Amino acid sequence: MKIHSRVANLFVAGAVAVAMNVMPAAVSPARAAELVDDKLYMVIAGRQEVSHLDPAQKYDLAIRMMMQALYDGLVKYEGNPAEVKPWLADSWETSEDGLTWTFNLNPDAKFHDGSPVNADAVVYSFQRTMEINEGPAWMLEGFLTPDNVKAVDATTVEFKLEKPYSAFLSFLPWWYVVNPAVVEANKGDDFGKSYLLENAAGSGPYILDRFEAGSSYVLKRNDDYWKGFTYDNDRMGGVIYRLVRESSAQRAALIKGEADLVTGLGVEERQALADNGDVSVSTIPSLTSFGLKMNTQQGITADVNIRKALAYAYNYDSFLQILNGEGKLQTSPFTDAIQGYVPIADMPRRDIAKAKEYLAKTEYPDGGFEVEFVYVEGFELQRQMALSMIDAFRDINVEVKLTPLTWPNMVARGSSPDTSPNIMAIFTTPVSTDPDAVAIQYHPASNGKYYGSHFLEDAELIEMIETARAETDWEKRAPIYAEIQQKIVDLQPEIFGMMRNRGTVHRTWVKGYADSPIRMEGEIDFYSTYLEP
């Protein structure tokens, strides 16, 4: 009996395959892209669900990808290296004291309903985000209040900051402008938050066609986009972002031609596809850094000499070996794409003699202690790093206790100096290329956040960071950031790791695809991307 019921199980998998065909896609696949009314729809197979479309709520890679397609910001990040480019705003001026920023809007800009994207809409959107106080609100917290955004005339917006903030402009690409008429009409009792979960109110190059939560999201190209397109192909009809939650299925979909572009594949999977002549792999070094953060307040790593000893004992080549060469070691706490990056000459590299020198200055001149290393459970890359760490630290007689945890548990452990482990593996992606976005990670303002698990508090460094972020003249800021980078290396709150290359794989008929390091892994900017007619 039991065996027979297991036989039934055998057929479940078959049934799954059959059920997949019960409701076939309404539009039949053409060469690769979906064809709808003779227009080409680019199919993207991604793993991250789009949980909402509201620019004022929490963002992640999938949400940001949709935002960039449906909405416009005053400015936009483009290119490699990422640069802030004029978008809704044609130009802007800053006052002498760095407090007043005036933006001149492009008079041609219009929302999907045809109404103009004017100064009132910009003011409304900024105030809405600040009042909801979620999503990007943290970026300008303490610098801007809802009352200090004003419409001077129909196409001029003025921001009066509480104090000078040099990174101000670099955050604006993530503040998208919503159509006030649409939001007001669906305001409800939550400032339109419920409405914008599955509806959009933007002016962007794409228009929301269908939002099918948990399965697919269909965007229609906005043929009348006020800014026009960078390519010439009237057959480009839209984009379908389809959830395919397993990398093997993503790969198969790409090979079979059910997807034109897939995101989020690992290094080995990308390399396996590289030989396929129908497929292009584009990789760029990301803005994301990977570091091993050490608790600077509690436990054995509170001693800077212990931290230095560990940093000199670590085997940095293992980072690159694990990534099959698809990465680059960090030469500063700032990744290469951050403005003002300077390579630090005495960045620790494996040097056992030096490690022992530092160890000699501590209570444990001969080692003989244990450090706890916390990393993401089930993440093969990090497990391999852990093994290489055991090997490397053995040379200075230090044992490693491995603690794999789920991500929420890691964040919970890292939220207080009392529970933060000796060493924790963390990927950090800043949302801005301004150096303040990285420097602030080593300021007590970041304590309790996932990248602040080192709890570094150094009076001199704090002062440098605060001076630099208030300075508006780049000529004066740059040298301060050079000093900040050196100072952070001296304090060694983490074993500075590497920048992993990230890649996107697409069929060769996908054209105009351009990645920018500021985007998250898997976050595609649809604007310039199109299918060969």
Partner 1 sequence: MRRLIFRRLVTMVFMLFGLMAIVFVIANIAPGDPARLAAGPDASNEMVEAIRADRGLDQPLVIRFGYYIANLATGDLGTSLLTRRPVLEDIARFFPATLELVLVSIGFAVLLGVPLGMLGAVYHNKLPDQTIRLLAISGVALPMFWLGLMLQWYLSLELDLFPLGGALAS
Whichever of 374 and 498 has its CB closer to partner 1, that residue is: 374
**Taking the complex as a whole, how short is the minimal distance between the CB of residue 15 and partner 1, in angstroms?**
4
| Distance, CA of 44 to CA of 524 (rounded, Å) | 9
Judged by CB under 8 A, the residue of 91, 133, 186, 508 near partner 1 is: 133
Largest CA distance in the chain: 84
208 binds partner 1 (CB under 8 A): no
185 binds partner 1 (CB under 8 A): no
Judged by CB under 8 A, the residue of 97, 113, 120, 141 near partner 1 is: 141
Preceding omega of 81 cis (within 30 degrees of 0): yes
Q: Return the DSSP state at 442.
A: G
| Residues in CB range of 408: below 8 A, 6 or more apart | none
Q: What is the 3-state secondary structure (H, E, C) of 87-114?
A: CCEEEEEECCCCCEEEEEECCCCECCCC
372 binds partner 1 (CB under 8 A): no
Whichever of 369 and 379 has its CB closer to partner 1, that residue is: 379
Q: Map the footprint of partner 1 across residues 242-261, applying CB under 8 A.
A: 242, 244, 248-249, 252-253, 255-256, 258
24 binds partner 1 (CB under 8 A): yes
Whichever of 51 and 283 has its CB closer to partner 1, that residue is: 51
**Taking the complex as a whole, how short is the minimal distance between the CB of residue 6 and partner 1, in angstroms?**
4
Whichever of 117 and 244 has its CB closer to partner 1, that residue is: 244
**Taking the complex as a whole, how short is the minimal distance between the CB of residue 21 and partner 1, in angstroms?**
4
- Residue (of 320, 411, 349) closest to 374 by Cα position: 411
In contact, 110 and 207? CB cutoff 8 Å: no
Spell out, one character per residue from 313 to 352, where the chain touches partner 1: x when CB under 8 A holds, - when not: ----------------------------------------
| Distance, CA of 524 to CA of 519 (rounded, Å) | 8
Strand, helix or coil for residue 56: coil
| Distance, CA of 279 to CA of 65 (rounded, Å) | 22
What angle separates helix 380-394 from helix 304-313, to the nearest 10 degrees? 100
Judged by CB under 8 A, the residue of 153, 155, 214, 273 near partner 1 is: 214
Whichever of 3 and 459 has its CB closer to partner 1, that residue is: 3
411 binds partner 1 (CB under 8 A): yes
Judged by CB under 8 A, the residue of 83, 134, 303, 471 near partner 1 is: 134
Spell out, one character per residue from 255 to 294, where the chain touches partner 1: x when CB under 8 A holds, - when not: xx-x------------------------------------
Indicate the length of the chain as a whole number. 533
Residue 495: enclosing H or E segment and its boundaries? Answer: strand 494-507
Whichever of 308 and 413 has its CB closer to partner 1, that residue is: 413
**Taking the complex as a whole, how short is the minimal distance between the CB of residue 63 and partner 1, in angstroms?**
10
Of 209-217, 298-306, 316-324, 346-354, the segment contacting partner 1 by CB under 8 A is 209-217
Whichever of 89 and 287 has its CB closer to partner 1, that residue is: 287
Count of residues of this chain found to bind partner 1 when the rule CB under 8 A is applied: 68
In contact, 260 and 510? CB cutoff 8 Å: yes
Judged by CB under 8 A, the residue of 84, 119, 161, 431 near partner 1 is: 431
Buried b (16+ CB within 10 A) or exposed e, 308-345: bbbbbbbbbebbeebbeebbbebbbbbbbbbbbbbebe
Whichever of 258 and 326 has its CB closer to partner 1, that residue is: 258
Q: Map the footprint of partner 1 across residues 433-452, applying CB under 8 A.
A: 445, 448-450
19 binds partner 1 (CB under 8 A): yes
145 binds partner 1 (CB under 8 A): no
186 binds partner 1 (CB under 8 A): no
Buried b (16+ CB within 10 A) or exposed e, 15-46: eeeeeeeeeeeeeeeeebbbbbeebbbbbbbb
Amino acid present at 124: Y
Cα 234 to Cα 42, 221, 223: the distances in Å are 14, 10, 8
Judged by CB under 8 A, the residue of 48, 104, 166, 216 near partner 1 is: 216
Ranges assigned E (strand) in 222-288: 236-243, 261-263, 279-285
Q: Which residue has the tokens 């003002």?
A: 340
16 binds partner 1 (CB under 8 A): yes
Helices then strands, counting H and E runs in the chain, come out as 16, 21
215 binds partner 1 (CB under 8 A): yes
470 binds partner 1 (CB under 8 A): no
Judged by CB under 8 A, the residue of 413, 454, 469, 477 near partner 1 is: 413
Chain residues binding partner 1 by CB under 8 A are: 3-26, 29, 49, 51-52, 57-60, 133-135, 137-139, 141, 197, 210, 212-216, 240, 242, 244, 248-249, 252-253, 255-256, 258, 406, 408-409, 411-413, 415, 431, 445, 448-450
